[in-house]
Amino acid sequence: MKITKATIHSVRFPLKEPFIISYATYPDMPGIILKLETDIGLTGFGEAVPDEHVTGEQVDAMFEVLKNVLIPRIIGRSPFDIEEIHHQMDAAISHNPAAKAAIDIACYDLMGKAAGHPVYNLIGGRAHDTLQYPKVLSIEAPEIMVEKAKLAQTQNFSSLKLKVGRDDAALDIACIYAVREAVGKDMPIRIDVNQGWQTVGIAVQTINRLEGANLTWIEQPIRMGDIRGLAEVRRKVSTPIMVDESMQSMRDVLEIIRLNAADYINIKLMKTGGIYKAVQIAKAAEAAGVIAQIGSMVESSIGSAAGYHAVMSRKNIQTAELTGPLLFAEEIGNLLYEPPNVKLSGKPGLGIDIDEQQLKKLTKKSAIIEGGNQINDH
């Protein structure tokens, strides 16, 4: 089986409401949907969602990187040669992990379909009985977040994730305690600061004031890249620390392990370059006694399903936060969410169906590459 044709779709997914985190507000979600076709008639889909604040990628540039740099390297190759495909992509261009993830995910979709197995069977098998996800609340006025948290309880969610990281840390503290009081002492709550508290001093002071909130963990409290600072935060607080933006590669996770900088790591396929490297990082974390999670850049059913297959395959990946399809006003896939669980279909590959008419509707521009040559661009 050889890859013979690639179609790149630059898309924008409309959101039901703006998604607000500490460093950005998203009115819609830009991304790339990649379709790979083979000489035996199989089709695989992948996805890339950029975040210029984290990986430095932007959707138009990613489109060009895929079209002119990465796709020509993989046309004519077997998707089963995933080690060589990653080697070729890394040799062609450094970084650009989300663009590489689109190819990686599409290759795994093709491998699963060719083998007649779901992707998780190719990377470790079924290591969990169920896959759960939290209700994720973006930054809003405290009274709105309280009402949404109470609603989540009635909708059968078993845990909450609160986005915080306002300029006013005192408002974050008040909001977190208000939500805790509203949902009771037993509802697990994790918070994601998305670098918003910036410095070690502010983070330590704020976290210590949150000890009474009984938080499961606090994610990325300080600016990305400062792993030594994150280790200092962890030494000075009792609440477990998760690293997200500062963990993008195997080199990062080894440094986090060396410095004892985190209790948990948040692996995202868009940061690591796809499933292949995400699983490698999870194995490295497991060897060091660090628990892993698969997180989201707000992908559609394609990227979200890929993440859940990675979760399913590894005991050490204990949680997941892939909720993008629930935030979209229009979608292209049918990944099944039944709060608090997501259910993989067990079908070959990613196990989802793609509505290509809907994909066409949401596409802003596209390109087709066949035999290493661009044959269409519109």
Give dist(CA 109, CA 352) in Å, integer. 10
Cα angle 32, 125, 120 (rounded to 5 degrees) comes to 10
- pLDDT tier, 374 (very low <50, low <70, confident <90, very high otherwise): low
Element (H, E) at 303: helix 301-313
Distances (CA, A) of 222 to 169, 203, 217, 306: 12, 7, 14, 28
* Residue 373 in this model has a pLDDT that exceeds 70: no
Pairing of strands 291-294, 317-320: parallel
Does the pTM exceed 0.85?
A: yes
* DSSP letter assigned to residue 134: P
Give dist(CA 189, CA 344) in Å, integer. 25
* Residue 11 in this model has a pLDDT that exceeds 80: yes
pLDDT at 22: 85
Give dist(CA 208, CA 231) in Å, integer. 15
Closest CA to 352 of 40, 8, 85, 47: 47
* Residue 372 in this model has a pLDDT that exceeds 70: no
Tens-place pLDDT, residues 301-355: 999 999 999 999 999 999 999 999 999 999 999 999 999 999 999 999 999 999 9
Average pLDDT of 84-101? 98
Tens-place pLDDT, residues 236-265: 999 999 999 999 999 999 999 999 999 999
pLDDT at 375: 60
Tens-place pLDDT, residues 163-192: 999 999 999 999 999 999 999 999 999 999
What single-letter amino acid sits at 258? Answer: R
- pLDDT tier, 24 (very low <50, low <70, confident <90, very high otherwise): confident
**Residues annotated as catalytic (active site), given as ranges:** 163, 192, 219, 244, 268
pLDDT at 371: 78
